[in-house]
A and B are shown apart, each in its own frame.
Chain A
Amino acid sequence: MSLALSLPETDSRLAKVTARDVNVHYAEKHALKHVDLDIRSNEVTALIGPSGCGKSTFLRCVNRMNDMIENCRVTGLLTLDGDDVYDRKIDVVQLRARVGMVFQKPNPFPKSIYDNVAYGPRIHGMARDQGELDEIVMTSLERAGLLAEVKDRLLEAGTGLSGGQQQRLCIARAIAVAPEVILMDEPCSALDPIATAKVEELIDELRENFTIVIVTHSMQQAARVSQRTAFFHLGELVEVGDTEQIFTNPQHPLTQGYITGRFG
């Protein structure tokens, strides 16, 4: 049973990821309840809601990062381009190459900037030779808006960058694998306002080529970067719709309460 008032879109042409009656249990805890949601191509979808509402859990279902957590059980149907993500035939490694992820805290590997970005292409064998690899690394850094800042020190450790630069490095690392969807789990929560602005700008540019799902606890951020917004509460998807509509004319009283800051 879903509380969603505006029914999810069923336009399969636009839906990149669809969720139908997705449930997640952590041992005894029912963390995500009967979620139906469509995520459209080349759009930024923001998942908002109070802490512990299941938005991160949903995000981690899409590229099956929840597999790593013991006692975690996912039921329902979750598809990427019509393929069941939880189908046995689906290969997790390949799935994650198609669905990239950026984490809450910047987590560059303790390697050089170059190797950080080259890591994904290398493991997936995306480059036939060094020249091609160089090209992928440069393009990715360029797309992440980081190239200008780091091009003279590509061989220095990625951990030596500032927080905002580290997070953009992580984004560059994710797009180097050429994913179709990028999942972002509160990517700016550890950053200062200036770095946040840069990352938000970047997200907006990336929309052109990628489908982006972003979890954020900041409503302003959701309003700034996303085209569609989904509001979660206590493991249920309460309402989903165009961002403008959610923020100006929320249908559900819970959404209204959250948006106007009455709880959360």
Chain B
Amino acid sequence: MDVLELCRIVLLALLLGCAVTVNLAKSLLQAVIIFMAYSSVMCLLWILMESPDLAITEAAVGAGVSGMLFLLTLKKLHQIGGKDGEEL
């Protein structure tokens, strides 16, 4: 089997794994981190599919900005860190 083919299969398996485990994650923080991992895997897959434009965007937006916005939202909803009961 071709090395590229093997890479593709492994990445696709990882993608499926991420997609399933994000539903089973115990905490929202875990879910966000798995979601960012999903985007990173997808970024590699875009490169394998010869679309570097999409890969750059996926890495910047999927794994970077949207993950950060999710984390900030969790912070606002008091799901991670911070003190409880503060209404800001």
Does A associate with B in a complex?
no
Q: Report A's interface with B, CB cutoff 8 A.
A: none
Q: Report B's interface with A, CB cutoff 8 A.
A: none
